[in-house]
Structure 1
Amino acid sequence: MACNNCSSSFTCLVASSTNAKRHTSRFKLNASQIQYSRPTEIKRDWVEQDHQSLLLASPQTFTVASYNILAVRNASQHSDLYVNVPSRYIHWNRRKTVICNELFGWNPDIICLQEVDKYFELSDILVKAGYAGSYKRRTGDSVDGCAMFWKADKFRLLEGESIQFKDIGLRDNVAQLSVFEMCESDSRRLLVGNIHVLYNPNMGEVKLGQIRFLLSRAQYLSKKWGNTPVVLAGDFNSTPQSGIYKFLSSSELNIMLYDRKELSGQKRCRPAHVLGMNKETVGPLVILDGLLKCWTDEEVEIATGDSGCHLAVHPLKLNSSYATVNGSTNTRGFNGEPLATSYHSKFLGTVDYLWYSDGIVPIRVLDTLPISDLVRAGGLPCKKVGSDHLALVSEFSFSDAMINPQT
């Protein structure tokens, strides 16, 4: 059953193959310490979950990758973001090769990509490698969108849904939801979501509304297919210190405690601020009588779904795979999230996540990179990274306590 606010079918295009505590202060560097020409070894290691946490894991595992691959048009239209990046690293033909080499090296079972405007080129490569795929382009003038690929010999698609947020008045962003069944076991099902949330830092109400709607649709499909476990991947354009992150991780948020223009935390992530190269700070919120007087009824309705309700809620109990699997203080922040998943001349911080629900457990994650390595590289993309984001990759196991009932 399709939602009236979503496209009536899983569109777009489907291809198949028969081969089926804040730590930024630790990195206070001054300009003289940054050596852009110094070669940097880009090496990412797997970090394993502790033994005690693996007691619930089953032998049936799967790996999910989430990667904002930097749309070709965005790279060309925003060249000011890559002033420290050699031009050869920006060219699409080279980036395409690097991105595919990254993906094949990690060998994920499910791939969620954002900022895809060369879907057919990627699909041709991935289909030959045994993946099937689907694509949903953004509405409006944008030419990029979200794409999802899965190993055709490991998962079969049971149902797919594409969300056009424009249909509910929430800009031109899109998202995907897919219900899969493992080919080797029809008792193991999985719902995967893929989203690229609106970038604009000043429109926190729209960001929250997009995420809230995606989660409500995910809960509906999960329940429809026997309370199947959920993985939500994407570029959420919100930092771990933000109100939006709190909403995702705690299932609710009192929006009146936040300035909607600061709800995503992005404004605090200019490289100069993060690296401590100057005294730039963000002032405290101004609170009057305990409430911020900066939300109109229309903005409240967009954020929470009800102009008379200041509490945004969602029905899923979510955890972040990276926050769950302990990592090094060289790469992780106070709450366990990566210190940075994106780096260019105007942003250094984390906006990408892999969220999961009950029924599955992360058993390892591909660690990100130390801030010092990113700074020495001068920015992303670089020789071994094909985008201005780092991919997140997590291997999950179904919990032995969770077997999806037949529907």
Structure 2
Amino acid sequence: MGCCLRAAPSSSFLLTCVKGPANSKSSSYSRRWYNPVRRKSSLLIPDTDRQWVTADNNRTHLLSEERFTVVSYNILGDRNAFKHWDLYRNVPSIYLKWDYRKRVICEELIGLNPDIICLQEVDKYFDVLNIMEKAGYLGSYKRRTGDYADGCAMFWKADKFQLIEGESIEFKQYGLRDNVAQVSVFEMRKAKSRRILVGNIHVLYNPRRGDVKLGQIRFLLSRASILSKKWGNTPVVLAGDYNSTPQSAIYTFFSSSELNIMLHDRGDLSGQKNCRPTQALGIRREQGSLFVWMDRFLHSSWTNEEIKSATGGTDSRVIRNPLKLRSSYAMVKGSAETRSSNGEPLATSYHSKFLGTVDYLWFSDGIVPTKVMDTLPINVLKKIGGLPCQKFGSDHLPLVSEFAFIQGSKDENETSNFLIS
């Protein structure tokens, strides 16, 4: 038989007493404090489990057994998390502290068990390296130039891949700001005929400087193409935070391999202006004004200096991609709750001023994605209220894709034929 003692109506707690069994020789009571407020909040926690989505293709017999998994993840630099505190007003302070985020990020990475990891916005490299080395990874790092503390880092499984060539790119040397990139060629230890070139970049954020963004991407593509040819047309995977949306001209450049810059507003090449949470969540529409239209007009024209930044010269107005690239997520069909009409995730990054996709895993001929880790539905992100959170240590979500080599692939159209079938 039990009894229940209720606190005064003004109290938010209940004290429950449970008496022992009737046949017990001695009566015993156990007390448990019950907080209905805590229970209510726990019921509101959304499901943040991410699911693998497998590619739908009936020609899997053409794929090699050698496969590898790549992660691209902007982990939010420790300095940036507090320098731009206004972006994380909805985030409890504990989830912004580096000690907490470091543990969550590294546990997630190790749990994903990828073969190659590309990180952006890393300003505590040795903190991450110390943990990843114990998990069997080797690493390399390139810090941004200037006064910036963060950079790009790459990790790979020491027992599966060996680094045979690597280089870092400082865009400052070419008049393209302080951003950096990494390009590495890996060889599989158990199948030395299998090589892969991996690029890692964090493109300039500034939405108005589309010319610089294009210049940085153009240079990365050029170096990746040159190194790929040097190593026998090695397949390419380009990871990173490109600070450009799937609806942007920059995305079109990747997917179509060519872009006439004069057909686009250089101040809106990245599409970032249309990804404020209020717009994406449909809370309200931002009203246009004379000042907004004047700003667009002033930034739509191109100077010779900007043309040179974008194309590499003042005589050309068309920029070309030397690599034939596709996005791994766009090639693996996902749910309408997580994907846009072109197949890309609806959101890979979320804070108080941005909700959208800027992260990608691009791949070239010779390999195909066999599965990807799907992102989170918009309604789940809305319930979370912003990133980082308890489960995710950054304001970005990691992109994860498994790739397979196409057996005997020497024809540059082989990947296209495989994906179309």
TM class by smaller structure: 0.7 to 0.9
- Count of residues in correspondence between the two structures: 364
Aligned residue number for residue 263 of structure 2: 257
What CA deviation, in whole Å up to 9, does each residue of 1:272-298 have, x standing for no partner?
011111122679x99xxxxx9600111
Q: Determine if the alignment matches structure 1 residue 353 to structure 2 residue 353.
A: no
Deviation at 1:56, TM superposition (A): 3.1
Q: What CA distance in whole angstroms lies between the structure 2 residues aligned with 1:208 and 1:54?
A: 36
Partner SS for 2:58: helix
Q: What CA distance in whole angstroms lies between the structure 1 residues aligned with 2:52 and 2:86?
A: 33
Aligned residue number for residue 318 of structure 2: 311
TM-score of the two chains, using structure 2 as the length reference: 0.84
- Structure 1 gaps of 5+ residues are 1-34, 287-291
Q: What CA distance in whole angstroms lies between the structure 1 residues aligned with 2:97 and 2:325?
A: 37
Q: Determine if the alignment matches structure 1 residue 393 to structure 2 residue 400.
A: yes
Aligned residue number for residue 11 of structure 2: none
Residues 272/175 of structure 1: CA separation in 2 closer, same or farther (3 Å cut): same
Q: 1:155 aligns with which of 161, 168, 184?
A: 161
* 2:95–2:393 contact (8 Å) kept in structure 1: yes
Aligned residue number for residue 298 of structure 1: 305
Residues 129/278 of structure 1: CA separation in 2 closer, same or farther (3 Å cut): same
Q: What CA distance in whole angstroms lies between the structure 2 residues aligned with 1:241 and 1:193?
A: 23
Q: Determine if the alignment matches structure 1 residue 381 to structure 2 residue 415.
A: no
Aligned residue number for residue 30 of structure 1: none
Letter in 2 for 1:400: Q
* 1:36–1:378 contact (8 Å) kept in structure 2: no
Aligned residue number for residue 108 of structure 1: 114
Q: Determine if the alignment matches structure 1 residue 330 to structure 2 residue 337.
A: yes
Q: 2:370 aligns with which of 349, 363, 367?
A: 363
Residues 363/348 of structure 1: CA separation in 2 closer, same or farther (3 Å cut): same
* 1:37–1:376 contact (8 Å) kept in structure 2: no
* 1:268–1:282 contact (8 Å) kept in structure 2: no
Aligned residue number for residue 229 of structure 1: 235
Residues 193/38 of structure 1: CA separation in 2 closer, same or farther (3 Å cut): same
Letter in 1 for 2:329: Y
Query: What root-mean-square deviation, in Å, do the aligned CA atoms of Structure 1 and Structure 2 show?
Result: 1.8
**Looking at both structures, which has the greater relative contact order when contacts are Cα pairs under 8 Å and sequence separation is at least 6?**
1
Q: Determine if the alignment matches structure 1 residue 88 to structure 2 residue 100.
A: no
Q: What CA distance in whole angstroms lies between the structure 1 residues aligned with 2:321 and 2:210?
A: 16
**Higher Rg of the two aligned structures:** 2
Q: What CA distance in whole angstroms lies between the structure 2 residues aligned with 1:197 and 1:63?
A: 23
TM-score of the two chains, using structure 1 as the length reference: 0.87
What CA deviation, in whole Å up to 9, does each residue of 1:252-280 have, x standing for no partner?
11111111110000000000011111122
Q: Determine if the alignment matches structure 1 residue 50 to structure 2 residue 67.
A: no
Q: What CA distance in whole angstroms lies between the structure 1 residues aligned with 2:300 and 2:395?
A: 36
Which shows bigger deviation, 51-60 or 347-356?
A: 51-60
Identical counterparts, % of pairs: 66
Q: 1:122 aligns with which of 128, 140, 150?
A: 128
Matches within 5 A, 1:146-185: 146-185=152-191
Q: What CA distance in whole angstroms lies between the structure 2 residues aligned with 1:36 and 1:237?
A: 34
Q: What CA distance in whole angstroms lies between the structure 2 residues aligned with 1:132 and 1:293?
A: 45
Q: What CA distance in whole angstroms lies between the structure 2 residues aligned with 1:207 and 1:388?
A: 21
Partner SS for 1:160: strand
Aligned residue number for residue 139 of structure 1: 145
